[in-house]
Amino acid sequence: MSLQFSPAINRVHAEALHRNTGEPEFHQALLEVLESIVPVLDRHPEFIEAGILDRLVEPERQIMFRVPWHDDSGTVRVNRGFRVQFNSALGPYKGGLRFHPSVNLGIVKFLGFEQIFKNALTGQGIGGAKGGSDFDPHGKSDAEVMRFSQSFMSELYRHLGEHTDVPAGDIGVGAREIGFLFGQYRRLTNRHESGMFTGKGIQWGGAEVRTEATGYGTVFFAQEMLAVRDDGLDGKTAAVSGSGNVAIYAIEKLQQLGAIPITASDSGGYIVDAAGIDLSLLKQIKEVERGRISDYAERRHDARYISGGSVWDVPVELAFPCATQNELNLNDALSLLKNGLTLVAEGANMPCTPDAVEAFQNADVLFAPGKAANAGGVATSALEMSQNASRQRWDFLSSEDKLREIMHGVHASAYEAAELYGHPGDYVVGANAAGFKRVADAMLAQGVI
């Protein structure tokens, strides 16, 4: 059903739904953006006249391919690979690769669409893309992950390059996978093109703070929002979902800034540690042993492990959903609000359902959408690209200072755009409007391509 937008927006929305059937995550992301940019289009009818919306919602290129590989028993396995190169008006395509059984074209498309606006908000010269595979690296040997990664890159490499498309890691793609992927790219191209992949090891072209950037950046954005209300993080309790890269480093930065994160989770359940998460133990279990979050409670006797259930039932002042899309629904939101929630910052991509977001906003809770709050990861990837291009390396503290400055700028852009377009304090409108305006201006200037 078409929404009550202008006829031009209704047409674009209806055509996008028709062309992309069976892709609910993409439909959700599309609707959020269209609702947010109405005031921008009202002020800039030239965007409609130039077909900016029609072109923006259609990826420039969608790549889907077979990935055959041998497991350790010699059995041939076949997965499916994806890369959606959505928009390159601001620069080369940029966005992560996700290896997870849930990956399909619709999820990759939603992630790539979100990436357009996130990347634009950073102020860096990067376009939007995303990719991945339905391959699950969990429980696989290093040799199996290597064989899969090499097969995956043997097809995708022809579509990549430091001036074309620069992937990075995402869920299921960490230092191990990035190493194998980059190695195969180097083997196939006979080029040590460092800038074509970000999130690399520090010893071979990686950037300081890239590992920490998404989690750190999410906390920096939350700090900026609180500062607008003359408030801060010190002493506040926080629930963090997930226990991967984003969650771990959100927990680390929260602790450094005086907050008390008390939860972490994985697909099996969640832990509650009222004294505050033991970060070194969490890193040992998840980053070294690749274990389960239940292992934490077995070693930390004051912590509780809850199998299944919802991490959002834990009473806290701050919520940082850092696991995956649509993990926090309306019931979760109502539970958090009942327990005194004051702020939500999305560390994952679109982790809150639309009705949960509406509940937070109606309750005057500070809400930071992922395309703004978790932009620190891709922003630091752009810094890594700069270091690779100039053969430089910046130290940790200067890199963190650059990240903090970028997140300050992302917050300012979203906050000011919300004011400009008549929705003060609405970071969803602000982030989408600011990102869209930058991309639309570039597309208008470059003609109908």
Please report, for the domain that includes residue 348, its CATH number: 3.40.50.720
Say how many C-beta atoms besides its own lie within 10 A of residue 101's C-beta.
12
**Residues 6+ positions from 196 with CB-CB distance below 8 Å:** 160, 161, 162, 166, 182, 185
346 and 228 housed in the same domain: yes
Low-confidence stretches of the chain (pLDDT beneath 50)? 1-3
Predicted pLDDT at 21: 96
Q: How far apart are CA 307 and CA 300, in angstroms?
A: 16
Question: Does residue 42 form part of some domain?
Answer: no
82 and 172 housed in the same domain: yes
Q: How far apart are CA 355 and CA 357, in angstroms?
A: 5
- The DSSP symbol for 312 reads G
The dihedral through the CA atoms of 329, 39, 373, 91 has a sign that is positive
359 and 237 housed in the same domain: yes
Tell me whether residue 153 is exposed, middle or buried, using C-beta atoms within 10 angstroms of its C-beta: 0 to 12, 13 to 18, 19 or more: buried
Question: Does residue 181 form part of some domain?
Answer: yes
232 and 358 housed in the same domain: yes
Determine the number of helices (DSSP H) and then strands (DSSP E) in the chain. Answer: 18, 13
Contact assessment for residue 105 and residue 113, using Cβ atoms and an 8 Å cutoff: no
pTM of the prediction?
0.93
Question: Does residue 82 form part of some domain?
Answer: yes
| Cα R_g (the chain), whole angstroms | 21
- Quote the tokens at residue 236: 């506040």
| DSSP H or E run through 82 | strand 76-87
241 and 298 housed in the same domain: yes
Question: Does residue 394 form part of some domain?
Answer: no
> Rounded to the nearest 5 degrees, what angle is found at the Cα of 279, between the Cα atoms of 377 and 207?
30
Question: Does residue 444 form part of some domain?
Answer: no
- Quote the tokens at residue 294: 């239940």
167 and 316 housed in the same domain: no
Please report, for the domain that includes residue 107, its CATH number: 3.40.50.10860
66: number of CA atoms within 13 Å, CB side?
5
Taking alpha carbons only, the member of 141, 95, 102, 84 closest to residue 118 is: 95
- Quote the tokens at residue 396: 């940790």
233 and 352 housed in the same domain: yes
Question: Does residue 193 form part of some domain?
Answer: yes
172 and 221 housed in the same domain: no
90 and 193 housed in the same domain: yes
Say how many C-beta atoms besides its own lie within 10 A of residue 300's C-beta.
18
200 and 312 housed in the same domain: no
Cite the active site residues. Answer: 130
Question: Does residue 6 form part of some domain?
Answer: no
pLDDT in tens, 147-186: 999 999 999 999 999 999 999 999 999 989 999 999 999 9
Predicted pLDDT at 5: 81
Q: 339, 356, 373: which is the final residue of a domain? A: 373
Tell me whether residue 92 is exposed, middle or buried, using C-beta atoms within 10 angstroms of its C-beta: 0 to 12, 13 to 18, 19 or more: buried
Quote the strand ranges of 291-392, DSSP E.
304-307, 318-320, 343-345, 366-368
Question: Does residue 30 form part of some domain?
Answer: no
- Identity (one letter) of the amino acid at 65? F
161 and 273 housed in the same domain: no
Q: How far apart are CA 67 and CA 202, in angstroms?
A: 29
Q: 373, 398, 429: which is the final residue of a domain? A: 373
178 and 195 housed in the same domain: yes
Could you tell me the residue range of the domain that residue 218 belongs to? 213-373
* Total of domains in the chain: 2
Predicted pLDDT at 4: 59
- Quote the tokens at residue 324: 């995956």
Q: 176, 204, 232: which is the final residue of a domain? A: 204
